[in-house]
Chains A and B, each alone.
Chain A
Amino acid sequence: MSIDSIAGLTIDSVREGLRSRAFSATELAQEALRFAEAENPKTNAYLTFSYERALQAARRVDAKIAAGEDPGPLAGAPVAVKDVIITKGVRTTAGSRLLERYIPPYDATAVTRLEAAGGVIIGKTNCDEFAMGSSNENSAYGPVRNPLAPDRVPGGSSGGSAAAVAQGTAVVSLGSDTGGSVRQPASFCGVVGVTPTYGRVSRYGLIAFASSLDHIGPIARNVKDAALLLGVIAGRDPNDATSAFAPVPDFTAALGGGVKGLRIGLPREYFKDPESETAGLIAKALETLRALGCELVEISLPTTEYAIAAYYIIATAEASSNLARYDGVRYTMRSRRADTLADMYRRTRDEGFGAECKRRIMLGTYVLSAGYYEAYYLKAQKVRNLISQDFARAFEQVDAIVTPVSPFPAFRIGEKVDDPMAMYLSDIYTITGDLAGIPCMSVPAGTTSEGLPVGMQILAKHFDEATMFRIAHAYEQAR
C-alpha cells in the first residue's frame, strides 16, 4: 500500500497503510491536500481547503501511533465536509454570499466526533446555497461539475461532498439531507450516500434549513465505509435536544450477514415509469436481491403523490424562520446602503441571498401568513402524518423498501434552472423518507448507456440502519 493512488483508498486501506508504516498520517494528509487542490478546477467540489487543521489532525494520529495508542476507527482518512456543517476557525459559507467571510466560533458535533475518531478534514465542499437545491447550481460560488460527466450536475444539495468522494480526493465525506440532498447526489455520482434516522446524528453545528427534516449523513465509495462513518458520528448529544437516545450499534457488524428470507417491499407509486433506463437498472438490481434470497413484495404507499406539496410547504415554512437570522447584525455581511435598521435588514437580505433562497423564504412566509396557515401549513403537517403512517403500515409487512433514488440520472448543467417546479419534482422519491424520518440510502446500481450512474434507494424502519446496510452490502458484493 502506498499513497500513489489516493483515489482508491478506503478507511481500511488507510488504517493498514498506517499500521504497516507504508506512510504516515501527515504524509497522507499532505498528499491528499495536494491531490484535491490539483483536481479541484475540474469539478469545483471544494470551496476551502483546511491545511492547518488537516495537518494538526494528522499529527495527532501519528503521535498516537508512535505512542502505541489506538488512533481511532477513521485514523488518517482524508474527509471532506459539506460547507453547511460548521468548523471552528475554518470558513463556512453554506454556499452563500452572505457567509463569505464567516469563521465559526465552534465545531459541529459530527465534526468533533469524526476528528476524535482520527478523521482528517481536508476541506469544505461546495453546495447549493443553504442546502436548497437539487443540482448544486444554486451555489454562490459556481456550480459543481459531475466528475463522471463534466457537462452535467453532480446533484444537490451535497454536490461537492458527492463529487469529492467520486473523484477520489476524499475517502469519505459528510453531507446533509433535508429532501434528498445526500442520496440524490450520491446516486448521480455513483457513490454511497446515507440519510440516517432523524435524530440519529446530532444537528448541533449544522446550519439550519428545515430543522424537523435536516439530517447529517455520510457519503463513501463503499457501504462499509459509510456504515463505519455513521457509527462514529451517531449518538445522543446534549447540545441537540432532538438527537435520539437510541444506542448506536456497530453498523459494520451486520455486514456480510446474508439477506436470505428478508422481505423487501416495492411501492408501486415509485415504479410508474417502467420504460426508463433507470427503472431497467433498478429491475436488474432487484433480480440480484431476489437471487440472494430476498422475497420481493409489491406494496403501496398511497400518500406518495402528495409528498412534494407537503414537503415544499413544511421545508420552506421552517426555512423562512431559520433564515430570518441573516439580517446584517451578526453574520459578517451587511449592506453598505443602510442608514436605518429596517433598511439594513432588507438590503442585506436582498444582496446576500440568491434567487432560490429568496423564492423559498417567500413561499415559506406566504404559507405561514395570516389566513393561510391552516390551509397550507397545518394541512401539510397532517399529510406528513399520513405519509409516516404509510411507511409504518408497510413495515408491518416488510423488512425494507427498495425504490429508485431519482427518476432520471444526472441532467445537464442549466437544463432545469429556469423551472423551479421541474427541479422540485426531481426529489419525488427521496423526500418521503425525510418526512417520515426513517433511515434511507443510495447504493450504486450500474450506469446508463451514456455511462451515467443510477442509485438504488433502500429504506428501513426507524433506527434499523443495520438491516439497510446489510442489504446494501450484500447487493454491492453480488453486483
Chain B
Amino acid sequence: MNITEQQVRYVADLANLELTEDEIRRFTHDLSDILRHIDKLSELDTSGVEPMAQVLFEADETATLRPDREAPPLSNQEALANAPLSGQGYFKVPKVIER
C-alpha cells in the first residue's frame, strides 16, 4: 500500500511531530516501502486466532499484589531535577490558553 503526503501530514499531527517538507517527502517514500512489505500479512488466514498482546506466564491470580506499606516516593525536588523549566515545585510550560 502507498501512503500519500497528505496522510503523512495527518499522522505527523497525531504524533505531535513537526516535520520539514523534506522529511515529509522522505517519510512518504519510506513508509510506503515498509507498508508494502507489511501488506504481506493479509496473505495469512488468522480467523479464529487470538491476538497476543503480551507474553504471559502461569501465576497465582493475586501474585502481583503486595502488602500496602508506606514507602517514600521520589521527592518533589528529584522529580523536577531534569525539568527544562520549573518553579514553586511545579513543571513550568508555555501558556496553554490563548486570549
Contact = CB atoms under 8 A, between A and B. Distances in A.
- Interface of chain A: mostly helix, strand, loop or mixed: helix
B88 interface: no
Contact of A329 (B20, B37, B49, B83): B83
A436 B55 contact: yes
A349 B52 contact: no
Contacts of B3: 366
Contacts of B8: 362
Interface string B57-82: 10100011010000000100011011
Contact of B82 (A332, A343, A353, A376): A332
A198 to B, nearest CB: 4
A376 to B, nearest CB: 7
A375 B46 CA distance: 11
A478 interface: no
A350 interface: yes
Given A241-B64, A328-B84, A381 B53 contact: yes
A312 B27 CA distance: 15
Interface in A357-396: 358-359, 361-363, 365-366, 369, 375-376, 378-386, 388
A425 to B, nearest CB: 9
Nearest to A350: B18
Interface in A302-348: 303, 305-306, 308-310, 312-313, 320, 324, 327-334, 338-347
A384 B18 CA distance: 32
Contact of B27 (A340, A359, A376): A359
Interface string A239-250: 001101110000
A23 interface: no
Contact of A366 (B11, B41, B53, B82): B11
B94 interface: yes
Given A199-B57, A329-B91, A332-B82, A350 B17 contact: yes
Nearest to A380: B41
A359 B30 contact: yes
Contacts of A462: 55, 57
B61 to A, nearest CB: 12
Contact of A358 (B19, B39, B42, B52): B19
B49 A245 contact: no
Contacts of A376: 38, 41
B37 A421 contact: yes
Given A331-B82, A361-B15, A339 B49 contact: no
A451 interface: no
Given A199-B55, A303-B44, A362-B8, A346 B18 contact: yes
A103 interface: yes
A331 B83 CA distance: 6
Interface in A18-60: none
B50 A309 contact: no
Given A331-B82, A358-B23, A420 B34 contact: yes
Given A306-B44, A381-B51, A385-B50, A327 B84 contact: no
B94 A363 contact: no
A241 B54 CA distance: 12
A155 B55 CA distance: 26
A375 B38 CA distance: 10
Most buried by A among B3, B27, B79: B27
A359 B29 CA distance: 11
Given A244-B57, A310-B41, A329-B91, A358 B27 contact: yes
B31 A332 contact: no
Given A329-B91, A331-B82, A334-B84, A105 B16 contact: no
Given A340-B94, A380-B41, A332 B33 contact: no
Contacts of A241: 64
Most buried by B among A313, A346, A376: A346
A349 to B, nearest CB: 5
Given A359-B31, A361-B15, A105 B63 contact: no
Interface string A192-210: 0000001100000000000
A102 interface: yes
A245 B96 CA distance: 45
B98 interface: yes
A332 B83 CA distance: 5
Contacts of A199: 55, 57
Contacts of B46: 379, 382-383, 386
Contacts of B96: 340-341
25 contacts: A103-B82, A199-B55, A306-B41, A309-B39, A320-B15, A329-B93, A330-B83, A330-B91, A333-B84, A340-B94, A341-B93, A344-B94, A353-B17, A361-B15, A362-B8, A363-B34, A366-B11, A369-B14, A375-B42, A381-B51, A383-B44, A384-B52, A385-B51, A385-B52, A462-B57
Given A328-B93, A366-B11, A462-B55, 12 more contacts: A103-B82, A198-B55, A245-B57, A329-B83, A330-B83, A330-B91, A333-B84, A334-B85, A339-B94, A362-B27, A376-B38, A383-B46
